[in-house]
């Protein structure tokens, strides 16, 4: 039997979001219905509302979520009703070239639930990032659910569904930060702070946080930054070189997504260092560099997609590390809110007042 629950809808471009009754169908083959317990508010939800992702309104927002599996469809064996799970953007096929080569984050054949959730008049909803979890219940592909230790708080667990995983993964997966490395992180929002926590976890000896906002640098210290640089006042490339014996950092993580910070990341690395790009630029942005500098520097220039994470490997591991007190995921939860407070949370996020507002249900 399809069920009616409350969910946060973005009805049209730049219109305020609102709570509406939505219809969640029973799970079909390969699908699961999840009772959502927590879902973080992310910039991407705001971009959906602004029409910046696509114009398939109305959207059911929310995608950084954790909850309990309520029911599963035919053929689902990896999760069962009662399991506590974190949701991820897409189920992977497991069979394509990318999956077979152990890089399922580049899977060619990812999918979400095949059925649609609707409004009560039958209007189909587009779930944000194939999840739609600012809702009491949501329908997803079973492959989007990863079981983790249920003793963690749902508000903390949901964070791994998006930005925090992107940041930690940029450090530990894409950047392969190792014990004793020097790491610089440019941009200390939620993603950059998570990269700092990831670098600290991996045993980096120096973690240099760069931002233009002193408030952000203060928080970065609580995540594990050993040095901070305000790049409004000081040339960050010079500062990072100075802090690393004149060489540059072993790993530089860019978490802003702008040409000037891409360029800083490029020049702030050690000649054999790695640059990890996790900040997402806009389509019109361009970067110009002397080719001789591109040629003359070894190392690697990598972009990081969803932290190059394997949900089945990384989500349970990071939750375990958090429960052991080795990864301060709780520091990312600035406040917990109700479903009808998402619009206000967007404003606070826009002002840079919060790392994460998390809807708890």
Q: Considering CB distances under 5 to 8 angstroms, the limit depending on partner class, which of ligand APR, Zn ion, none binds residue 220?
A: none
Q: Considering CB distances under 5 to 8 angstroms, the limit depending on partner class, which of Zn ion, ligand APR, none binds residue 186?
A: ligand APR
Q: Considering CB distances under 5 to 8 angstroms, the limit depending on partner class, which of Zn ion, ligand APR, none binds residue 99?
A: Zn ion
Binding mask 32-71 for ligand APR (x = CB under 6 A): -----------x----------------------------
Which residues from 108-127 bind Zn ion, rule CB under 5 A? 109
Q: Considering CB distances under 5 to 8 angstroms, the limit depending on partner class, which of ligand APR, Zn ion, none binds residue 327?
A: none
Of 268 and 354, which has the nearer Cβ to Zn ion?
354
Among 23, 79, 107, 208, binds Zn ion (CB under 5 A): 107
User: What number of chain residues touch ligand APR (CB under 6 A)?
Assistant: 25
Binding mask 29-68 for Zn ion (x = CB under 5 A): -------------x-x------------------------
101-103-107 Cα angle (round to 5): 100
State both tokens at 209.
Answer: 């946080």
Gap between the Cα atoms of 132 and 135, Å rounded: 7
Among 99, 165, 188, 339, binds Zn ion (CB under 5 A): 99
187-134-1 Cα angle (round to 5): 150
Q: Considering CB distances under 5 to 8 angstroms, the limit depending on partner class, which of Zn ion, ligand APR, none binds residue 162?
A: Zn ion
Phi and psi dihedrals of 314, rounded to 5? -85, -40
Which residues from 296-355 bind Zn ion, rule CB under 5 A? none
Binding mask 150-169 for ligand APR (x = CB under 6 A): -------------x--x---
Is 198 a binding residue for ligand APR by CB under 6 A? The answer is: no
Contact between 66 and 157 (Cβ < 8 Å): yes
Gap between the Cα atoms of 7 and 85, Å rounded: 19
Phi and psi dihedrals of 228, rounded to 5? -130, 145
Q: List residues binding Zn ion (CB under 5 A).
A: 42, 44, 92-93, 96, 99, 107, 109, 162
């Amino acid at each position: 039997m399809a069920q009616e629950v409350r969910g946060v809808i973005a009805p049209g471009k730049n219109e305020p979001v609102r709570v509406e009754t939505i219809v969640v169908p029973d799970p079909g083959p390969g699908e699961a219905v999840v009772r959502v317990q927590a879902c973080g508010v992310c910039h991407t939800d705001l971009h959906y509302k602004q029409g910046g992702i696509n114009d398939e309104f109305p959207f059911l927002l929310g995608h950084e979520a954790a909850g309990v599996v309520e029911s599963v469809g035919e053929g689902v064996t990896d999760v069962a009703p009662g399991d506590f799970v974190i949701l991820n953007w897409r189920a992977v096929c497991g069979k394509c070239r990318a999956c077979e080569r152990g890089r399922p984050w580049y899977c060619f054949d990812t999918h979400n639930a095949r059925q649609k959730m609707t409004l009560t008049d039958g209007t189909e909803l587009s779930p944000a990032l194939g999840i739609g979890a600012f809702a009491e219940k949501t329908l997803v592909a079973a492959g989007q659910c990863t079981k983790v230790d249920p003793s963690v708080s749902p508000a903390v667990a949901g964070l791994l569904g998006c930005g925090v995983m992107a940041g930690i993964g940029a450090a530990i997966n894409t950047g392969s930060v190792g014990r004793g490395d020097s790491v610089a992180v440019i941009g200390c929002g939620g993603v950059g702070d998570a990269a700092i926590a990831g670098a600290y976890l991996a045993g980096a000896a120096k973690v240099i946080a760069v931002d233009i906002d002193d408030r952000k640098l203060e928080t970065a210290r609580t995540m594990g930054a050993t040095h901070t640089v305000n790049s409004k006042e000081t040339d960050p490339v010079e500062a990072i070189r100075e802090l690393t014996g004149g060489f540059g950092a072993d790993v530089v993580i860019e978490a802003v997504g702008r040409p000037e910070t891409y360029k800083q990341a490029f020049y702030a690395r050690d000649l054999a260092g790695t640059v990890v790009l996790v900040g997402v630029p806009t389509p019109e942005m361009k970067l110009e560099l002397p080719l001789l500098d591109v040629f003359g520097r070894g190392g690697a220039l990598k972009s990081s997609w969803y932290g190059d994470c394997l949900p089945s490997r990384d989500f349970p591991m990071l939750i375990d590390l958090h429960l052991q007190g080795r990864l301060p995921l709780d520091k990312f939860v600035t406040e917990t809110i109700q479903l009808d407070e998402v619009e206000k949370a967007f404003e606070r996020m826009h002002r840079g007042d919060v790392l994460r507002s998390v809807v708890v249900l």
